[in-house]
Amino acid sequence: MNGKFFSFFLPEHPMRSFTKKILLLSLLFHLLCAFFNVGYDHPDEYFQVMEFASAKMNITPAHDLAWEYSAGIRPALQPAMVVGMCKVFHLSNPVIISFVLRLLSSLFAWLVTTMFILLSLSHIQSVKLKKVVLVLSLLFWFVPYLHGRFSSENWTAIFFFAGLSMLLYYFRQAEEKKEQGLNQLQLLLSGIFLGLAFDVRFQTGIMIAGLGLWLVIFRKLNFLNVLVLFSGIMFSFFAGVLIDHWFYNKWILTPLNYFHVNILEGKTADWGTSPWWEYFKMIFINTIPPFSILVLLGIILFFIRNPKHMLSWITIPFLLVHIINGHKELRFLFPLLNVLPLVVVMAIEGEKNKTWFKKIADPFSHISKNIFVKIFLVVNAVLLLIVSFRPSNENFSFYDFVYANYPGKEIRLYTASGNPYVVVGLPVVFFRPKKLDVIEIQNDSSFSKTIFGNQSINLFLTKNYSVEQPAFLAGKNARLVYENVPGWIRHFNFNNWLKRTRSWQVYEFE
């Protein structure tokens, strides 16, 4: 990252050194999350991507796939990306494949977020508030974690903000009258990225429509430029149709099927419904209370004060549709993650000279404000460290261990805790070794009557609220080979909290 690059995006010299440090620190946490956050944040991230790709690679039988496959409502772009990567680089180990996908997700999300934020900082006047936007956009506690997911929510955001960043770059060049010959190509590429965002997650079409209307109404984009942008979007749309045909082995319009099943038939309501204000509650809880009061206040103030702003036209329709929809999950709003810090900080900057804002802020002394900021930074740092080093899903830590330590071996896995290769009622096939048999026994004590096969690796899995060896294993030729709670953490068992923590343990019998 040379000085010329930063001089284009950040002409203010005081920001350059700070920006480089934040970018490098953020990159470090993105890499940590890519390495340690094994598993999924939500089952759809795995069962509708990895298992779908596995089916196309003739590993997972079609009858073992999630219901979305038979309904034909899942876009095939992400499974196609997995299959393509595996074929090009001759990858077959699911542990390596999932790591590479997390790494690519982290790097692309970090890059796109960086470009979008640097191109958007010109909307903020205060150098201090620009620094706040950088920190919140790249180092807020759940940002590196979510960026490391090979999920539809993350990748639709990657494609959408890549397209939007190209538009912003196009506008910046137009203002500075540089490289005008590249404008049409930039618009076309921007449209392609926006179309890919729709291909990954159809709900993003609402954001694309809002952006398109803003470009026509307020930016006054001429007909030729609109046509070029729209052509890029349609190119990606038809590419998505071809990919879906390849995946489902028939001509199919997954967006139409999705609308029919989830909207007209109301399938989403089967997973539960929530009141309209539930998203505000979710945002409040996850943006660190009581600091989250500023977040909610900033969102509301920005929309009220800036009804013609591009971010309002992108965000408000998307939020309204999700608020109206009965089934609510916070992950549905993840595509707006890059917008949140900008919206909140721009709202604060716009209100800080207003009388009502001064009446609230003035009672706080400079020292009190510094303490407030330091508490937030400490809490955020602690949460960031926690999510950077913990697996997203305990099952997959176990899968990684088995796959890495017993390659090609015949394995008998005994358990009284339920089949670990069945999650939310669906079989995990892609991560299950071909020669592994799961033998469910009635209880731990009945395991002592089990006769082992001489040619196999015999493992026993237990999931208990204890890090101690089960009593019935005492005196048996068993050694602990895996536990999800590290041994060193026992030295920090304050108030006996480990007794309230479920521990996965695997014992190998010799």
φ, ψ at 36 (rounded to 5°): -95, -25
Q: Let me know how long the chain is.
A: 510
Please say whether the beta carbons of 483 and 505 come within 8 A.
yes
Q: Give the per-residue pLDDT at 371.
A: 83
State whether 285 and 311 are in the same domain: yes
Q: Which parts of the chain sit beneath pLDDT 70?
A: 1-13, 176-182, 353, 355-369, 443-454, 465-476, 486-501
State whether 348 and 430 are in the same domain: no
Last residue of a domain, which of 338, 366, 389? 389
State whether 384 and 412 are in the same domain: no
State whether 384 and 408 are in the same domain: no
Query: What is the per-residue pLDDT across 389-419, written as a single tens digit (0 to 9) for each?
Result: 989 988 999 999 999 999 889 999 988 888 9
Q: Give the per-residue pLDDT at 463.
A: 82
State whether 325 and 404 are in the same domain: no
State whether 378 and 432 are in the same domain: no
The residue to which tokens 């953020």 are assigned: 26
Q: What domain range includes position 445?
A: 394-509
Last residue of a domain, which of 356, 371, 389? 389
Helix axes 77-89, 94-120, angle to 10 degrees: 120
Q: Give the per-residue pLDDT at 1.
A: 45
Q: Give the per-residue pLDDT at 356.
A: 62
State whether 405 and 328 are in the same domain: no
Last residue of a domain, which of 342, 364, 389? 389
State whether 175 and 199 are in the same domain: yes
State whether 213 and 280 are in the same domain: yes
State whether 378 and 399 are in the same domain: no
State whether 439 and 345 are in the same domain: no
CA distances from 151 to 32, 61, 199, 466 (A): 18, 22, 13, 33
Number of structural domains (the chain) is: 2
Instruction: Return the closest-CA partner of residue 134 out of 158, 118, 112.
Output: 118
State whether 376 and 420 are in the same domain: no
pTM: 0.92
Region of 75 (left: φ > 0; alpha: ψ -120 to 50; beta: rest) is: beta
CA distance 262 to 250: 21
Q: Give the per-residue pLDDT at 30.
A: 98
